Amino acid sequence: MLTYLAGAQIRRAFLDFYQARGHMPLPSASLIPEDPTVLLTIAGMLPFKPIFLGQQERPAPRVTTAQKCVRTNDIENVGRTARHHTFFEMLGNFSFGDYFKKDAITWAWELLTQVYNLPCEQLWVSVYEEDDEAFALWHNAVGIPPHRIQRMGEDSNFWVSGPTGPCGPCSEIYFDFHPELGETGIDLDDDTRFLEIYNLVFMQYNRDAQGVLTPLAQQNIDTGLGLERLAQVLQGVPNNYETDLVFPILAKAAELCSLDYYQASAEQKRHLKVIGDHIRAVVHLIGDGLIPSNLGRGYILRRLIRRAIRYGRLLDIRGVFTPILADVVVDLYTEAYPALVEKAHWVQQVLLQEENKFRKTLETGERMLGQILAECPEQISGQALFKLYDTYGFPPELTEEVAQEQGIPVDWTGYRETMQEAVERSQSAHQTIDLTQGGVLAELAELGQTTFLGYLQTYGTGLVLSLLAEEQPVAQVAAGAEVRVVLDRSPFYAESGGQIGDRGYLSSSSGRIRILDVQKQGDLIFHRGQVEEGTVRLGDTLEARVDEDLRRRAQAHHTATHLLQAALKAVVDPNISQAGSLVAFDRLRFDFNCPRALTETEVEATETLVNRWVAEAHTLQVEVMPIAEAKHRGAVAMFGEKYGAEVRVIDVPGVSMELCGGTHVRNTAEIGLFKIMTETGVATGVRRIEAVAGAAVLDYLKTRDRITRQLSNEFKVTVEEVPGRVATLQGELKRTQKEVEQLRSELALTRVMALADQAHDVGDKKILTAQIPDTNPDALKGAAERLLQKLGEGAVVLASAAEGKVTFVVAFSPALVKAGQNAGKFIGQVAGNFGARGGGRPNLAQAGGIPLDQVNEALRYAEQLLRG
């Protein structure tokens, strides 16, 4: 007589048994392995692969786990046999270089027979055909008669974790449902009689890609006991699905299509089993962070969900049902996997969306398939298979199943060829398309929308719908990463209508993201930030906390902007309209159409009026109404802005009424104070006011105050005396500057007069040609005249370069002029020789434009001419 144990009791007893024998109990690892080469966790040993291979420290010499696993290689058998599952739990005890075959074998037997009370006469064992040691242990240490120990080949008794990896011979324990059939002609593979329940792997080799076995540094133990299988045995039910671990899901599904499971036909039962199995798998997969997609793991998940939905349809379940069944699964696992409870809402949401999406395509797809089968009942072509998938989202494996039900084969080779062509076509077509513009955002759009909570609250919780790192969707992000997070609900205001996005934190018990910017795309809010601590995963529920101080600053500036617009209309011109605005934490900027600059009096009056409205403490009224009504009431809209049918109206009663999606103070008194900083022009007919309101006024005042105090200290007067002191100092400065000018020109003149010594005598006349530094044309002329006075009769030619320009000045004495010489003509000739122009009066003339590097040559040329 077997003792009934519930699934949870079997799990608990296993872990307790091995914990009592020195094993450290560890929680189940995720179904999504860290090892990128493996799609899903397919066995209890998978998380320990690096330890077996000696690449990672062991957490303890012995551990024990109940590990969630998903295998999809036998998916077609699910529901058909008594024991096939995609999702199952594997109970395992592991030794990392600690105990080996003897303990593994004797403990396994003790557990089965003493704890689970399985009758020894109903247990059979197998060993690897060459493993005499295991055979001897079963016989001598446990006492199994030799005929009940079967030697089996490599196929069934040599276990490898994949094409390569740790491996070893194994020994399996089978339960015999029909001991009355006798002990001869035994075939342990006959699953109508035997059920393999416990596999002991003696992990001692590593297999490489060529199949070569290398001994591992240590001898290890990896075991797996199928929880659902043992439950089937101990609960005395005909298959895994009817155990307490799965049956509640089947029962719920049956209820949804008004069936009694026990009265149902074999086919209906099979469909219910597939649904029950798949729902368990998808709930755990989504709970571990996977989302349905067309790639890799995501595709496995999508296929499981779509299969479940299709079987639901075959059973005539009406309406969306996968989220309802998900609820049953979560309930079943509340105790063993408490983290799943937190994910329940997320799991349901993902399922809801996938089911809604698939239902739409399923109908069309099924019709299409019906047509295809009618037209060509011999085979489903590769092209048809592909089209059903590509256009209707009908997984090809599903098409194959439907076809198989009618005995029609599908052309997989043709399918793969068509697929390949399509991939090549799309690769060449999409090479230049930015993923963020197409694919990712298109996928994100499927997530629906972020509900904005922030009009009423600055705190809330939201589910992570998507994580983008470097613009690519990822399942999780860790400390240091830059990330964009999409939540299903958020109190964070996204930048729009000139108002800057909120700042703050998104956090959970496992990680924290500091939010640096918030933007909107479509109906989704993207929180951009940096992970400061821990890890954040898809499907996590995060606490979203807006920085309230900054939010208050933005609100004060936003409402003040509305008041400013109203005040400008009242003070300056009722026709003033908004041309743009910025509502930041530290200031506001308001651009408006106005043909002229405001006077100082207008600026002051505007500021005073806004402050009066602030002091009057008007309570804002915020209402959503049809746009026609808003217009009728006289709400101000922004020209050129697009508005929906329903608009949000911000009303400061009696003062201002504007269409606006921003966040505002509840009462104008919250603004406290309003101060205009500058009024400037930005374009023809557009003026700009920059102002501060609320807490930002204090910042503004502090800066001003610091500056005035600095000035008062510097000048050693009171702040009030600073302007008088500055005026006095400026007067003094002007006088001093004048004196300096005078002194400078006197000094220059003295230097110039000294040049007189360099004059040459030509007959009774004196000639002077010289270059003097950095002198402007007027000063140069003055200098030439003074020099000529000193020299008496003769000519003076002076050149100077000032500010990059060369000036020549010529002065002729009266005698020279009387003798018919002309300074103007003379300089004209000199300049002309150097490609420049010059002219003037007969006694004083000037030229410009002689190249800087030819000044000396020009002076020599002038002297020659004069001598001539």
Our CB check for ligand SER shows the closer of 223 and 775 to be: 223
- Total residues interacting with ligand SER, rule: CB under 6 A: 10
- The footprint of ligand SER on residues 131-160 (CB under 6 A) is 159
- Please, what is the minimum distance in Å from the beta carbon of residue 64 to ligand SER? 12
- Please, what is the minimum distance in Å from the beta carbon of residue 230 to ligand SER? 14
Angle at 89 between CA 84 and CA 90, to 5 degrees: 100
- DSSP code, position 112: I
CA dihedral 354, 358, 359, 360 (to 10 degrees): 120
Burial class (CB in 10 A: 0-12, 13-18, 19+), 234: buried
- Please, what is the minimum distance in Å from the beta carbon of residue 77 to ligand SER? 17
Q: Does residue 224 belong to the site contacting ligand SER (CB under 6 A)?
A: yes
- Please, what is the minimum distance in Å from the beta carbon of residue 516 to ligand SER? 46
Question: What string marks each residue from 228 to 267 as x (binds ligand SER by CB under 6 A) or -?
Answer: ----------------------------------------
Our CB check for ligand SER shows the closer of 196 and 288 to be: 196
Contacting range for ligand SER; rule: CB under 6 A; set: 51-59, 104-112, 219-227, 735-743: 219-227
- Please, what is the minimum distance in Å from the beta carbon of residue 201 to ligand SER? 5
Q: Site for ligand SER (CB under 6 A): which residue of 98, 131, 222, 540?
A: 222
| Residue found under tokens 């910042």 | 699
| Residue found under tokens 């077609």 | 76
- The footprint of ligand SER on residues 750-779 (CB under 6 A) is none
Token readout for 616 is 């009057």
Our CB check for ligand SER shows the closer of 162 and 448 to be: 162
- Residue 477, helix vs strand vs coil: strand
Token readout for 545 is 């906390």
Backbone angles phi, psi at 377, to 5 degrees: -75, 0
Helices 266-287 and 296-314: crossing angle in degrees, nearest 10, is 150
Alpha-helix runs per DSSP H in 412-547: 412-430, 439-445
User: DSSP E strands: which ranges in 694-733?
Assistant: none
Contacting range for ligand SER; rule: CB under 6 A; set: 5-13, 81-89, 220-228, 501-509: 220-228
Our CB check for ligand SER shows the closer of 70 and 368 to be: 70
Q: Site for ligand SER (CB under 6 A): which residue of 63, 137, 149, 201?
A: 201
Give the residue nearest to ligand SER (CB). 224
If phi over 0 gives left and psi between -120 and 50 gives alpha, with beta otherwise, what is residue 820? left
- Please, what is the minimum distance in Å from the beta carbon of residue 168 to ligand SER? 10
Our CB check for ligand SER shows the closer of 158 and 394 to be: 158
Q: Site for ligand SER (CB under 6 A): which residue of 43, 108, 368, 783?
A: 43
Our CB check for ligand SER shows the closer of 201 and 410 to be: 201
- Residue 605, helix vs strand vs coil: helix
Token readout for 684 is 């023809």
- Please, what is the minimum distance in Å from the beta carbon of residue 205 to ligand SER? 14
- Please, what is the minimum distance in Å from the beta carbon of residue 213 to ligand SER? 17
Q: Site for ligand SER (CB under 6 A): which residue of 7, 44, 395, 529?
A: 44
Instruction: Pick the closest to residue 188 from 107, 146, 125, 269 (CA basis).
Output: 125
Q: Does residue 168 belong to the site contacting ligand SER (CB under 6 A)?
A: no
- Please, what is the minimum distance in Å from the beta carbon of residue 173 to ligand SER? 12
Contacting range for ligand SER; rule: CB under 6 A; set: 31-39, 222-230, 282-290, 467-475: 222-230
Token readout for 231 is 């439950």
Q: Does residue 45 belong to the site contacting ligand SER (CB under 6 A)?
A: yes
Contacting range for ligand SER; rule: CB under 6 A; set: 39-47, 205-213, 361-369, 376-384: 39-47
User: DSSP E strands: which ranges in 594-697?
Assistant: 621-626, 646-652, 656-659, 674-683, 686-693
Our CB check for ligand SER shows the closer of 44 and 529 to be: 44
Instruction: Pick the closest to residue 255 from 162, 319, 199 (CA basis).
Output: 319
Our CB check for ligand SER shows the closer of 44 and 393 to be: 44
Q: Site for ligand SER (CB under 6 A): which residue of 47, 79, 92, 840?
A: 92
Q: Site for ligand SER (CB under 6 A): which residue of 199, 268, 581, 668?
A: 199
User: DSSP E strands: which ranges in 763-804?
Assistant: 765-771, 794-802
- Please, what is the minimum distance in Å from the beta carbon of residue 59 to ligand SER? 17
Q: How far apart are CA 505 and CA 508, in angstroms?
A: 10
| Bridge pairing between strands 656-659 and 621-626 | unpaired
User: Order of strands across the sheet with 674-683?
Assistant: 577-583, 588-593, 686-693, 674-683
Contact yes or no for 302/351 (Cβ under 8 A): no
Q: How far apart are CA 772 and CA 745, in angstroms?
A: 13
* Footprint on this chain of ligand SER (rule: CB under 6 A): 43-45, 92, 159, 199, 201, 222-224
